[in-house]
Amino acid sequence: MDKKYIATPIRTKEILQKYEFTFKKSLGQNFLIDVNVLKNIIGHAGIGQTSGTIEIGPGIGALTEQLAIHSDKVVAFEIDGRLLPILQDTLSEYDNIRIVHEDILKADVLQVINENFKRDQSINIVANLPYYITTPILMKLLRERLPVESITVMIQKEVADRMAARPNTKSYGSLTIAIQYYTEAKVVMNVPKTVFMPQPNVDSSILKLVSRSEAPVHVEDEDYFFTIVQACFAQRRKTLRNNLSSHFKGILDKDTINHTLESIGIDGTRRGESLDMKEFSVLANAFYKIQRN
Ligand code: SAM
């Protein structure tokens, strides 16, 4: 039964041969050839027969096909023009798929949503992302505050671990805060290299991000907040005091930095990795007020 699906080694090879398709490593082309993994992604993605789905990078359509079967409509962004005629062929039996030939980083996703989905339709993003631009893609989608319920993506395991990390762990860092400011993040499954063609060099995980209805902490200025968080992790082994001194060099003196930390009850000898999001927000807001005055 599953044999007819695109995501099998046999069908994938047939399609690649038919079109003499050669993988572009520079576009992160590692296609999924395991229907069970796809079913797992679908199962976690929270999609239903009435929901809309956005995919990034359909490749030859392995995941797109499953999304078309399990949701109302799929809109997929693909940068590689060579894949368009292939997708037209492999997905010809589905009438609920629209392929947009565009670089997702340049696309006006909100406009595409407004043009393609019904008002109030629940929308989820689901993708096996090109690993070379995982973080820029996710940050773009989150910062634009698109009206999507969740983002479920296959990404490099090490990056997924960083995005879903907890304080005081090796993976916890500025990327964790950036992602968890917008979403609740969870690694739902680790995936072996063998489910891809060609096999990537790194291990993979499925990460699920559920959009927050409101920010988890109050920040005076988001850009300022993220800049301070980055500064606190600039050198992981260094204390907060030292990282902040380097960041504010020539702008704020050490006494001001120490007093500010004291005034908010955060010990300057701690390291960035020990602060939770709430503490980072208090810290960033305190320095923001000082710099503004
Ligand atoms: N979804 C397919 C699958 O699971 O078999 C292919 C996934 S493959 C990891 C990543 C896909 O993203 C490729 O088709 C690649 O051409 C496409 N891609 C790479 N960069 C992109 C970009 N900036 N915008 C849109 N698609 C991109």
Does 139 share its domain with 272?
A: no
**DSSP H or E segment with residue 101:** none
- 193 phi and psi angles, rounded to 5 deg: -65, -25
Does 182 share its domain with 235?
A: no
Residue 43 identity: G
Task: Report the 10 Å Cβ neighbour count for 20.
Answer: 7
Q: What is the pLDDT of residue 3?
A: 52
CA-nearest residue for atom 8, ligand 1, is 29
Query: Tens digits of per-residue pLDDT, 87-97?
Result: 999 999 999 99
What is the length of the chain? Answer: 293
Q: Is residue 216 included in any domain, yes or no?
A: no
List the Cα angle 102/107/109 in 5-degree steps: 120
What span, in angstroms and rounded, lies between the C-alpha atoms of 137 and 260?
Answer: 35
Q: What is the pLDDT of residue 293?
A: 83
- Count up the domains in the chain and report the number: 2
The domain boundary, picked from 159, 183, 211, lies at 211
Q: Is residue 93 included in any domain, yes or no?
A: yes
Query: Tens digits of per-residue pLDDT, 22-67?
Result: 999 999 999 999 999 999 999 999 999 999 999 999 999 999 999 9
Per the structure, the complete domain to which residue 191 belongs is given by: 2-211
Does 180 share its domain with 161?
A: yes
Q: For the whole model, what pTM was predicted?
A: 0.96
Query: Tens digits of per-residue pLDDT, 157-189?
Result: 999 999 999 999 999 999 999 999 999 999 999
Q: Which residues contact 19 (CB under 8 A, 6 or more apart)?
A: 82, 85, 86
Q: Exposed, middle or buried by CB within 10 Å (0-12, 13-18, 19+), for 18?
A: exposed
Pocket perturbation via mutation, ligand 1, pick of 5, 16, 22, 29 by most ligand atoms within 8 A of CB = 29
Helix/strand/coil for 60:
coil
Does 227 share its domain with 143?
A: no
Q: What percent of the chain has pLDDT over 70?
A: 99
Which residue matches tokens 């504010």?
248
What span, in angstroms and rounded, lies between the C-alpha atoms of 191 and 161?
Answer: 13
Residues with CB under 6 A from ligand 1: 27-32, 56-59, 62-63, 77-80, 83, 103-105, 128, 130, 133
Does 187 share its domain with 88?
A: yes
Does 146 share its domain with 266?
A: no
Query: Tens digits of per-residue pLDDT, 233-253?
Result: 999 999 999 999 999 999 999
Q: Is residue 217 included in any domain, yes or no?
A: no
Does 70 share its domain with 110?
A: yes
Taking a C-beta distance cutoff of 8 angstroms, is the pair 42, 62 a contact? Answer: no
Q: What is the pLDDT of residue 1?
A: 44
Query: Tens digits of per-residue pLDDT, 197-239?
Result: 999 999 999 999 999 999 999 999 999 999 999 999 999 999 9
